[in-house]
Amino acid sequence: MKIGNIDLGEKPVLLAPMEDVTDASFRILCREQGAAAVYTEFVPSDGLIRDAAKAIAKMKTLPEEAPIGIQIYGNDPDAMVEAARMADHADEIAGGHGCDLVDINFGCPVSKIAGRGAGSGMMREPDKMVEITRRIVEAVRKPVTVKTRLGWDDNSKIIVELAERLQDTGISALTVHGRTRCQMYKGEADWTLIGAVKANPRMHIPIIGNGDINNAARAREAFDRYGVDGIMVARASYGRPWIFRDIRAMLDRGETLAPPGVLERVALAKRHLGLSLDLKGPVRGVLEMRRHLSCYFKGLPEFKETRIRLVTEKDPDEIVRLLDYIAERWGQTQLSAEESVYGL
């Protein structure tokens, strides 16, 4: 599968953009585990055009993350176009590698974004969505992709027609999450409509499916049953970066891997913590690791007290000692696949 001139290989598995999750340390780890491409956290267009330091910092990436997309969101056309231009030149503005593609967020359902008409809030204004996309494609050098949902609600599942219109703007790929905005993350993702988009004979750009890909078997089904060109993993990667390795083993060799043992998880957690400290320093590096740390060890018996210590400790050296303690106490504990379905 190619996005523009970016070759992601056959049946690529991508890491979805997730706010407060897909920072550089996690993105690097997922790339090491087999993710074909990764995306930044959501970058607000209004923050970029105001030169807000936090928004600009989100665009700083590293060469080892490539290929990487910078995802922008907003609902003002002029601001979105200017933000896309800035993302296109992120290496000059924020430093680092920059981006390999610009992704437009028309899919986030959370109220603080969709409620302001951005993210999946744009599903209520498809004409405006298409116009913003067209203008961004015309404004940037890099390939442009879109991530969106089936529609606003069950009465407005417009994705099959909308996909054609978005393709006609010149985008290089489309990711479809199999829920409406009103569903948020409830219920099961409807992959039949994702399959309908892919089966549409007018579609010629890559179609990437997203929603409920939480194990290797579901990943294989997405390709075999619905014919998508790629898949995107979101919440199931949280605290579980090895899901990309698991999926690749299934797709490439038909192999089902056993869940990683406690010792391997401790090693990954240390690697993740080290990256976070190197990139953010001891204060932010520890604070922003907390959401990940306890998830690495979901399913361990009698773990509550240790989990609390992991997510409240401020000293990086003490966290390393806690990880060593976990290895010593639970190192031989077997975790079942069922206990590891979600790293949440």
Residue from 306, 239, 302, 249 nearest 269 by CA: 239
Instruction: Write down the pLDDT at residue 335.
Output: 76
pLDDT class of 239 with cuts at 50, 70, 90? confident
What's the full length of the chain, in residues?
A: 344
What are the pLDDT digits (tens) for 7-39? 999 999 999 999 989 999 999 999 999 999 999
- Cα 19 to Cα 81: distance, rounded to the nearest angstrom: 21
As a whole number, mean pLDDT of residues 218-226 equals 97
Question: Which of the two residues, 337 and 109, has the higher pLDDT score?
Answer: 109
Taking only the tens place, the pLDDT of each residue in 309-326 is: 999 999 999 999 999 999
pLDDT band at residue 336 using 50, 70 and 90 as cut-offs: low
Just list the catalytic residues: 108
Average pLDDT over residues 144-149: 97
pLDDT > 90: what percent of the chain? Answer: 87
Q: Which of 3-7, 260-264, 330-334 has the lowest mean pLDDT?
A: 330-334
CB under 8 Å to 338, separation ≥6 — which residues? none
Q: pTM for the complete prediction?
A: 0.94
Give the contacts of 47 (CB within 8 A, at least 6 positions apart).
Answer: 54, 55, 56
Which domains occur in the chain, in start order?
2-253 (3.20.20.70), 262-340 (1.10.1200)
